[in-house]
Amino acid sequence: MSTTGYSPHQHTPQPPQPPQPKNGLGTTGFVLGLLGLIFSFIPIIGVIAWPLVILGIVFAALGIARLRSRKATNKGIAIAGLVLSVVGLVIAIVWAAAVTKAVDDVNRAVTVHYEVTGTAKGASVTYTTLGEGGASTSQEQPKTLPWSKDITAKGFGKGGTLTVTTGMNGGDVTCKVVVDGKEAKTATASGNFATASCDGF
């Protein structure tokens, strides 16, 4: 006769273990997006942000795709990575546009028209122009008015000053500055040794 009973060597079969979540893509997207966002605020060095935020968008999007197929569980990290990457990309685009505009402004030449009118005789005209070569100052004493001068300015600082002073015989004077066809500054003075100054344009 045989009997059956529990044997300590018998094992109960274990159910199959669920696969480990594949959270690497979403986490990578978050890290790249965070780094890209930080670098996007820094001038010049911010060019590093471009590949970081673009890769961040790609990895975060792949991470979200894994979430939908139930292969990943880090929903918050993946979505945050996508948001950070998109914000970083927007900031990088804004910086690129600003730098492009600044370069265009520096390279663009403007025409500065200085003009002095009035009844004063023996007036003294002093004008300063700012351009890529720095500041240059000139002085003239026209025998009669009106007087005018056209100058081309180029560089970071484009501007200058125009000052006219009446002589001992007095009279009235008006200075005017026109930049690229648009009036930028005007001033009037009258009397002995009176000064009209056009600056801050």
* 110-118: strand order across its sheet: 147-153, 110-118, 172-179, 182-190
The number of helix segments (H) and strand segments (E) in the chain equals: 3, 8
Residues 126 and 184 both lie in one domain: yes
Residue 102 has pLDDT above 90, yes or no: no
Number of domains in the chain: 2
Express each pLDDT in 79-100 by its tens digit: 999 999 999 999 999 988 888 8
Give me the chain's average pLDDT, please: 85
Query: Residue 194 — left, alpha, or beta (φ > 0 → left; ψ -120 to 50 → alpha)?
Result: beta
The whole model's pTM is what?
0.54
Element housing 60 (H / E): helix 49-68
Least confident of 19-33, 60-74, 88-102, 130-144: 130-144
Q: What's the CATH code of the domain at 185?
A: 2.60.40.2880
From first CA to last CA, the distance across the chain in angstroms is 116
**End position of a domain, from candidates 106, 132, 150:** 106
Residues 90 and 143 both lie in one domain: no
Residues 114 and 70 both lie in one domain: no
Q: Is residue 34 part of a domain?
A: yes
**Could you tell me the residue range of the domain that residue 120 belongs to?**
110-198
**End position of a domain, from candidates 82, 106, 130:** 106
Closest CA to 72 of 17, 25, 33, 32: 25
Residues 125 and 100 both lie in one domain: no
Residues 120 and 186 both lie in one domain: yes
Residues 42 and 76 both lie in one domain: yes
For residue 95, the SS3 value is helix
Q: 178 vs 39, 105, 186, CA distance in Å? A: 42, 18, 9
